[in-house]
Amino acid sequence: MKKLLIIVTCLLLLSSCGTSIERVPYDEIPQGSSLEDAKNDGLVVYEDYDITAGQAVWDEFVAEAESGNPCEIRLMFYYTLEGQGITPKHEQYEEIKDDYPGFYIQDLSFDGSIYKMYWVEEEQEYTREYKYLKRFEDSVGIRYILVNDKDATWEQIVKGALSSQIGDGIAFNTVYSNKS
């Protein structure tokens, strides 16, 4: 099964931009796939909110999308208890320790005008569409955020996310982060 994942991922990378690609369906990704498998297979990998593999794949995706060319990539988000700031001293530790490390896979595509995020969670499929991929850079690092508001600033996105007021929020999805 690991060989299947490697073969399909290689095919995915060879055709990641400019063409329509066939991805391994989420329910066919082998159980026991690991962080190292994802890195070795060339996926864009984030560990606890920071890119650790696949930078060249990400850069190619951004360049193709900025040129208006259809393209797709697969992202893996890997989270550890330590990365979430949870240690054995936390009261929640015993309840959630078996859920970590955890990883989530999402597909990001651009059809020439719209960005789409696709993922499966607990056998439920989700798709979100966004008009813009915006790059933000500050002392924390670099982020790419999907939004529908062309003029949205990072400060407005954060303020809306933290606000308790209905309507203050700006729909967004963080698809890249690289800490300084």
pTM of the model: 0.78
**Domain ranges in the chain?**
2-130, 133-180
pLDDT at position 75 = 93
pLDDT in tens, the chain (180 residues): 333 333 333 333 333 444 344 556 666 666 666 788 788 877 899 998 889 999 999 999 999 999 999 999 999 998 887 887 778 887 888 888 888 888 888 999 999 999 999 998 888 999 999 999 999 999 889 999 999 999 999 999 988 888 777 767 788 999 998 886
Distance CA 149, CA 134 (A): 10
pLDDT at position 136 = 95
Distance CA 132, CA 66 (A): 10
**CA nearest 59: which of 16, 23, 21, 30?**
16
Distance CA 16, CA 70 (A): 9
What pairing do the DSSP bridges indicate for beta strands 71-79 and 44-47? parallel
pLDDT at position 143 = 94
- Count other Cβ atoms within 10 Å, centred on residue 19: 11
pLDDT at position 9 = 38
pLDDT at position 137 = 93
Number of residues written out for the chain: 180
Distance CA 158, CA 161 (A): 5
pLDDT at position 64 = 97
Is-contact 23 107, C-beta < 8 A?
A: yes
